[in-house]
Every structure is written in structure tokens, then in C-alpha cells.
Structure 1
Amino acid sequence: MIRIAAGTDIRTGILFFSKEAAFGLYNGEGGIFRGEYLQTFPRMSSGGKQEYCIGLGEKALTKREVMEAAACAASCMLEHKIYQFYVDTAGIETFLTEDNFPYFIQGLYLGGYEPPQFGKHTRKQADITLLPAKEGCIAGLSQKQAEAAVEQGMHMAEGILFARDMVNYPGNLLRPADFAESICRQMEGLDVEAEIIDKDRLENMGMGGLLTVGGGSAFPPCMIVLRYRGAKDKDGEVLGMIGKGVTCDTGGYCLKPSGSMAGIRGDMAGGAAVAGCIYALAKNRVEANVTGVIPICENRISPDSYLPGDVITMYDQTKVEICNTDAEGRLILGDAAAYAVECEGVSRMVDIATLTGAVVNLFGFSVGGVLSDDEELYAQFERAGTASQEQYARIPFYSEHEEMLKSMAADLKNLGPDYCGTITAGLFIRHFAKGKPWLHMDIAGTAWVDTPIWKFQSKGATGAGVTTLYEMCK
């Protein structure tokens, strides 16, 4: 919880100092606080309060750096097991704007994040009081405007943290039905219609891709549809968000190498991002019409599992030759995309998935890959990425890349050659968008970090994609 108050009797707090403002501050052990960017420094105030000083450096801060400074403050408190504290915004006031103030709030939330706990420790939510630089004023906003910005930032952060929690959950505690039900619970009380389509209905619908991948597990597949209509014209254009929801991915009979097994529980980060985004949209009453479709399953090995060489029939009757059972995400996303066009009437489509190792080889763990066949949709996405401060790079594609998916035995095959893996994976999904403006986000490298790159990350799930999808709708 974050609130704004002119004063507080809380005894522990955070102060921010630029390098210039930090001149002359030092600790009792002779260490010097120079106000270097993200330097931390404990001190006792003249009033007997325990305070932690956070350095801001000597240059103007970007939105990402504002988030990092806030996250640094919260993580400092978390490190010392302090869950109630105040944040004096006076030192950072010159860097806060109406645009980045919600991201400052987001940074406070993300920096204080603890992953789900399954042992004796129970995680706690921080109770934070913001002290305005001036009476009732932060970032040049009135008290009412500042409170609205705090709410916006909190809800965005809650969407990200929901996505992080889902990805961080152990696979044995988040089966397909568990994931779908968790999403439904997250949407309770919001203007979101949540519908779970169970295995029996999937069979009646002919969802061949999703049923094939999920058929090797004792825990049946399902699909959740989230409908949010926040635009003034509720019958107007609808953006379709398709998110991969593989809660356990062994690779099937094309078994993953042992070094990759630790991350198989997180192959539903795309679906978690869609759910987190729609939660934030609904909480902040953003004027947009969105339908999220999240196909959910496990990709396991059993006597009934699909095999390389099989030919399956997708929801839209496309015949697909299976070349690799670890190229499963595109199969379930293809079914979901075709369903979104045919049954949900989406006018544009964005799909998001931890889809290929190839994108990690391209961009590492800080940049996601993007393909799109529509310049207007991509321009909207690019503006959203600038606003969210997530990093993506567009990957070009041409007709010869589409030729790589042609099959001798079927209409398509689910794997291209040993090169251009990110491109061919995306183009496979594009086939099922049925000519609608389409954009594909591959977050295989950015959805998880073993070593945090920025202060607002923590080891494990990052919640990648939530804020960029949110900004696209906003």
C-alpha cells in the first residue's frame, strides 16, 4: 500500500540526493556518501529517525532510472526486513514528471517484490507513505492528481507482480487448471468477462494444436478468454492479445537438454503478461477494447504424446507436420489466434510468448524480439515501448522465410531450418491471424533473469511485456 501524507510518525525512511546535494554527507565509520547513482547510505537524522539515502548521480534521470532509484529504495528496505517506511520525494522532485511519476510508484512496488514463499517465511506487503516536497504536491500535481497517479502506478505494478508470481510458481503447484483459475480470481470484481474453455469443449471445437500438445499430460489443457470493453464505443475495434500458457515444457519426445530443465515451469510468461496487462487496464479503467486468449497446457512425455512426423489438424483445418515436439508454443498460439479472429472478432492481433532460444542468441536477456506485418500497429507498439522503457528490436522477414515453413506432407510444418528460428516461429503464428494486422513479441530472453540487470528486477520472473502491452492500449 502506498499513500500520500504531509507528515508521519514512522521512524524509518528514504531520502534521495543528487551528487551535488550529497556534498558533505558522511557516515560515522569514515565512509563517504557522494550521491553516486544508486549508492546507498544509512544515517540517523537529527530527529532520531533511521534514514537511508539513495544517490541520484549528477545528470538528469531517464524514466528507467527514476524507476531504478525507487526500486533501489524499496529493495534496501526489503534487505533489512523493513516493511513500513516513508519516502521523502523532495530530493527526486526535479526528476519527477506527470508521465514518469506512476513509474516511480511502479519501481517502489517492483523493488520490494518477494517471490512466492512455500516454506516457513511468509512474505509481507510494504506499507509506504510518500512525503510531498510541497504541501499536497508531487511532480507538479495537485493532491487529487498525485493520488490518481499513485493508483495508476500501483495497478500497473500489481499486474506485473501477478505475472511474476505465476511464472515463479513451481510447476506441480500450477497445473493448467490452476493457472486459469488464478487468472479468474485476479479478475474478480473487475469489468472483465473471464471464460474458461475446458477440454471437452476444446474437443468439440476441434482445437487440434492445443489438444495435441496437451494430450501427453494427465492434467488436461484448457483455454481462458478475457474480454475487457473499456472504450466508449464498446462495439468498436478490439485488440486481440494471444499469450502462450505452457505451464510445464519438457520438450516432449524432443526432450530438452538437462541444462534447460530448470526453466521449464516458466513457459507461460506470455499468458501471464496478457492477464497482468488486462488486470491493470481494468483497474485503471483505460479506454480500450481488448480480448485476451490464453491457451494453457503442459508439454510432457507419455504413450499418448505426439511425435515428430505426425500430421495434425489445427482449429482452422490447417494440416501441420510435426518436425519437433519442442516447437509446441506456436501450435497452441495458432489455434488461439484463429479462434480470436473467427469467434471473438478481433480487428488487430498481438501475440506474446517465450517462444525461441534463437531470440536469446540474437539479443540476450535485456531485449525482446518483434515481428510485425503492419506499419501502423508497429508504430503504436514502438511508442508503447518508449513509454514503458522495455527494450525490443524489430526483426525483418521476407517471402523466402515463409517458404521455409512449407511441408511435403501437409500445409505447414512447425519448424523451419536450423537458422532464422525466431522468424519462422513468428511467421507460423501469423498464418493463423488470417490477414489481420499482426505483431509478435518473443520474450524468451527477457521473461526471466538469473542475475538482475536493473534494480526493479529480481532473480526469477520479470513480468516482461505487461507494461508495453498496457501502454499500447493506453
Structure 2
Amino acid sequence: MIQIVSESTKGAVVEFGFEKEEGKFKGKALETLFYPEKDGKEVLYVGLGKKEETAGGQTDENICKVLVKEAAAKAVKELRSHEIYEFSMNISAVAEKFGTESVRDIAEGALLADYEQIQYPGKDCRKTEIELTGIEGSEAEAASALLSEYEAVIEGVRFARDMVNMPGNKLRPEDFAGEVLNLVKDTEIEAQVFHLEDLKKMKMDALLGVGESSEFPPCLVVLRYMGDPECEEVKGLVGKGVTCDTGGYCLKPAASMGGIRGDMAGGAAVAGAIYALAKNRVKTNAVAVIPMCENRISDGSLLPGDVINSYAGKTIEIANTDAEGRLILADAVSYAVKQEKVTHILDIATLTGAVVNMLGFTIGGVISDDQEWFDRFRRAYQVSGERYWRLPVYPEHEKMIKSKVADIRNMGESCCGTITAGLFIKSFAEGKPWLHLDIAGTAWVEPPVFEFQSAGATGAGVTSIYQLCRQ
């Protein structure tokens, strides 16, 4: 729990400060100094680094957002290490430098630092209670409104983390669908699940091609939130939901097997984002489409060289059975356009190892065919503080996925893997403004990169998708 108050009632307090030359506490970035007793309270000082280095252009703004999140998270983790679970944070120094909107970053850092993975057997996890002080008058009202809004967003992030962290045998496709339905049950979201027999009638052949041979059948979850009935724009949010990815007959190497359970981070992200939109009654229209399945090896599994159909009617040559995410996204994107009549498409997936080699574990890859749609997303991630990098696309890249035996091939050549994977999905967007997020590097971190992360799932994408729709 976190709230704005005019005066602290807690016996412990966090003070943020910028770097200085004198005193025991120098204020270097994320430096901490704990006093068990000072003026009748337990006091923790947390450093924000050099004040003059926290102003400037777009890149610096992102660095500052991450710093504020980390500082808040550092404070929570440090006090919890002293078994202090109730305290106040004096955020006057942060708000004065970064503005009232920095409350969002404080809340995200603090609430995510409090996150703990699901364990088996379960255990009771004591949550922190935080009071924020140092903001007065009308600014306090604005900060309280931001805080209330972002608590729902962080619920969405925590949901995404829980789903990705869950062991594969605890989260089969139908289980994942049930978790999503339970998340949105008390909101204004209309939820629908298409099960195996439905998918066969719909001719979702790409999704079935990947998931039908598993003992645990595939399904398709559709979440409709129409918060602005007078607006014709409907954003289609499509997230990959592969709950177990062995690679199929193109079996993953042993070193990669530990992460096969988390290949549904994209699906979890769009579920968390649309939940937050509905919870906050944001004036927007969004439809989330999440194809869910397992990619296993069995007698009926896809083989390299196979040619399959798709919901769009296009034939697909299977060059690699471990390029399964783009197959199920193809059917889901086609469905979103044809049946849900979405006007804009965003798809998100842990799609390629190539994006990890290129951008590492803190930056997601972006591909888009529409400048205005991408500009809106860029404004969104500038607010969220997530990091993305747009990749170039040229006609020669599209040639890489041409097939000699089908309409399209599910894998390109030995280079440009992230680009060609995205372009495969684009070919099913029916010309709608399209945006593709590859979060293969940012959805999972072990060890954590930032203080507000924990080992495992990060909940990548939720905050940026929410901000995109919120515009």
C-alpha cells in the first residue's frame, strides 16, 4: 500500500538527496546510509547522484526515470532487510527536480521492489506500507491521482511477472486462459475463450499447427474493452502465449531449456495492460487477442519443410519449428483485423534470440510500418521509462521470407532474424498501422539489472502499452 500524506505517522523515514562533497552521506547514485535512531526515528538516506547531471535531452530523461525507480526500490529493499515494513518517504527532493509526475516512477520502483515470486508451497509475504510526504496543496492532489492510477498499472505488471514466473506444469494453455479471466472478471472487459473445437471450426490452422499435437490443447483468449464508444479507433493488442516452448523438432539447446516456460510474456503483458485500462476506466478502445499453446515434440508435431494454412488463407512454409511464435501471432493478428475490426495493431512477443544479441537485456526491439503509430508509441515509452529501439526495414528484408513452395516462409536467412520475424507478422496485418515489440531480452533477467527488478520475469511491456492506449 502506498499513499500521499501531509505528515508522516511512521517511525521510519526515507530521505532522498543529491550528491554533495561534505558529510558522511555523499548522496552518490543509490548510495544508502541507515541510522537506527535519529531524532526519534529510524532514518534511511538514499542518494540520487549529481544534480547537474540529471537534466538534458531525451536519453537523460530516461536515465533519470530509471534512477528514480531504482532509488525508491533501493529504499524498500534496504528497509526490508532491517525488517522495517512501515515507513514514509520524503520525496520533496525528487518532486522538486523531476516534477509531480515522478510519483509514477516512485510508485513503480517501490511497489515492484516489494514483489516476491510465487513459491511452492506458498508462504505469506509481508507487504510494505508506505506514506509519501513532501508534496503539498494542489500538487498533492495531482500526485494522489497519479498514484491511484498507477497502482492498477503495477497490478498488471505484477500479474505479468506471476504468469511468466509460474512453472510450465502449473500453467498449461487452458490454465493461462483461466488466470487471465480471473484477472479481468470484476472489470468492464468482455472476455471470450475459443477452445480447440472452436479453433478447428475457425480454421486457425497456424495456431493449431503449433499447439494441436500437445496433450494440453491450444486456445485463444479475446478481451474487449470499449471505454470510448464514440471513437472509431480500436487498438488491437496481440500477445504471444506459448506456455511451453521446446522448439519442437528443431529442439532448443540444453542451455536454453530453462527459459522455455516464459514464452508467454507478450500475452501476459497485453492482459496486464488492458486490465489496467479497464480498472482506471481510461477513455479508449482496445481488444487484446492472446493465442495460447505449447510447442512440443510429438507424433503430430510440425516438421521443417511442412506447408500449412493460416486463418488469413495464406500458406506458410515451415523452415524452423522453433519459429512458432510468429505462426500463432499471424492467426491472432488476422483474427483481430477481420473479426474484431481493430484499426491499429500492436503485437508483442519474446520472439528472437537475435534481439538479445543486438540490444541486450534492457532494450526491446521495435519494428513499425507507420510513422504516426510509432511516434505515439515513442511518446508512451518516454513516459513509462522503458527502453526500446526501432529497427530499420527495407524491401530486401521482405524478400528474405519469400517461399518457393508457399505464400510465405516462417524464417529468413542467417541474418536480420529480428527484422524478418517481425515482417512475417506484418504480412498478416492487412495493411493496418502495425507495431511489433520483441521483448526476448527484457522479459526475463537473472540476475536483475535494475533495483526494481527481481530475478526472473520483469513484466516488460505493460507500462508502455498502457501509456500508448492512454493517449
Normalised TM-score (structure 2): 0.94
Give the letter for the 2:185 counterpart.
E
Percent identity reads 50
CA distance in 2 between partners of 1:306 and 1:33 (Å):
61
Give the 3 Å change call, closer, same or farther, for CA 46–365 of structure 1 in structure 2: closer
Give the 3 Å change call, closer, same or farther, for CA 377–419 of structure 1 in structure 2: same
Q: How does 1:424-439 map to 2 (within 5 A)?
A: 424-439=420-435
CA distance in 1 between partners of 2:452 and 2:40 (Å):
30
Q: Does residue 1:256 correspond to 2:256, yes or no?
A: no
Q: Deviations over 1:113-162 (max 9, x none)?
A: 111122353223222222x225x44xx614x3232111122112111111
Choose from 459, 463, 466 the match for 2:462: 466
**Secondary structure, in 3 states, of the residue corresponding to 1:344?**
coil
Choose from 8, 30, 33 the match for 1:38: 30
Residue of structure 1 equivalent to 2:191 = 194
User: CA shift at 1:103, angstroms?
Assistant: 2.0
Residue of structure 2 equivalent to 1:423 = 419
Choose from 144, 151, 156 the match for 1:147: 144
**Secondary structure, in 3 states, of the residue corresponding to 1:35?**
coil
CA distance in 2 between partners of 1:23 and 1:68 (Å):
24
Give the letter for the 2:123 counterpart.
H
Choose from 393, 396, 407 the match for 2:389: 393
Residue of structure 2 equivalent to 1:312 = 308
Residue of structure 2 equivalent to 1:29 = none
Contact 1:66 1:95 in 2 (8 A): no
Contact 1:368 1:391 in 2 (8 A): yes
Give the 3 Å change call, closer, same or farther, for CA 347–93 of structure 1 in structure 2: closer
User: CA shift at 1:303, angstroms?
Assistant: 1.2
Q: Does residue 1:55 correspond to 2:53, yes or no?
A: no
CA distance in 2 between partners of 1:69 and 1:5 (Å):
20
Give the letter for the 1:75 counterpart.
K
CA distance in 1 between partners of 2:229 and 2:303 (Å):
48
Choose from 280, 283, 294 the match for 1:284: 280
**Secondary structure, in 3 states, of the residue corresponding to 2:291?**
strand
Give the letter for the 1:129 counterpart.
E
CA distance in 2 between partners of 1:146 and 1:99 (Å):
7
RMSD between aligned alpha carbons? Answer: 1.7
Contact 2:242 2:292 in 1 (8 A): yes
Residue of structure 2 equivalent to 1:266 = 262
Q: Does residue 1:368 correspond to 2:355, yes or no?
A: no
User: CA shift at 1:386, angstroms?
Assistant: 1.5
Give the letter for the 2:440 counterpart.
A
Q: Does residue 1:172 correspond to 2:164, yes or no?
A: no
Contact 1:116 1:123 in 2 (8 A): no
Q: Deviations over 1:56-84 (max 9, x none)?
A: 22215422222221111122233344332
CA distance in 1 between partners of 2:38 and 2:357 (Å):
53
Q: Deviations over 1:8-40 (max 9, x none)?
A: 4432332222224x943xxxxxxx321111111
Residue of structure 2 equivalent to 1:133 = 134
Q: How does 1:189-228 map to 2 (within 5 A)?
A: 189-228=186-225
Give the 3 Å change call, closer, same or farther, for CA 72–194 of structure 1 in structure 2: same
Unaligned runs of 5+ in 1: 25-31
Give the letter for the 2:99 counterpart.
T
Contact 1:103 1:153 in 2 (8 A): no
CA distance in 2 between partners of 1:99 and 1:40 (Å):
24
**Secondary structure, in 3 states, of the residue corresponding to 1:141?**
helix
Give the letter for the 1:349 counterpart.
I
CA distance in 1 between partners of 2:406 and 2:18 (Å):
63
Contact 1:356 1:422 in 2 (8 A): yes
Unaligned runs of 5+ in 2: 55-63
Normalised TM-score (structure 1): 0.93
Residue of structure 2 equivalent to 1:119 = 121
**Secondary structure, in 3 states, of the residue corresponding to 2:79?**
helix
Choose from 83, 91, 94 the match for 1:92: 94
Contact 2:222 2:289 in 1 (8 A): yes
CA distance in 2 between partners of 1:402 and 1:19 (Å):
51
| Higher mean C-alpha displacement, 393-402 vs 248-257 | 393-402
Q: How does 1:154-165 map to 2 (within 5 A)?
A: 154-165=151-162
User: CA shift at 1:216, angstroms?
Assistant: 2.5
Contact 1:318 1:411 in 2 (8 A): yes
CA distance in 1 between partners of 2:301 and 2:453 (Å):
37
Contact 1:238 1:348 in 2 (8 A): yes
**Secondary structure, in 3 states, of the residue corresponding to 1:369?**
strand
Give the 3 Å change call, closer, same or farther, for CA 79–168 of structure 1 in structure 2: farther
User: CA shift at 1:229, angstroms?
Assistant: 1.2
CA distance in 1 between partners of 2:339 and 2:89 (Å):
49
Residue of structure 2 equivalent to 1:297 = 293
Contact 2:229 2:285 in 1 (8 A): no
Give the letter for the 1:16 counterpart.
F
Contact 1:193 1:227 in 2 (8 A): yes
Aligned residues between the structures: 460
**Secondary structure, in 3 states, of the residue corresponding to 2:428?**
helix
Q: How does 1:398-409 map to 2 (within 5 A)?
A: 398-409=394-405
CA distance in 2 between partners of 1:371 and 1:216 (Å):
31
CA distance in 2 between partners of 1:182 and 1:23 (Å):
53
CA distance in 1 between partners of 2:382 and 2:143 (Å):
23
CA distance in 2 between partners of 1:434 and 1:241 (Å):
15
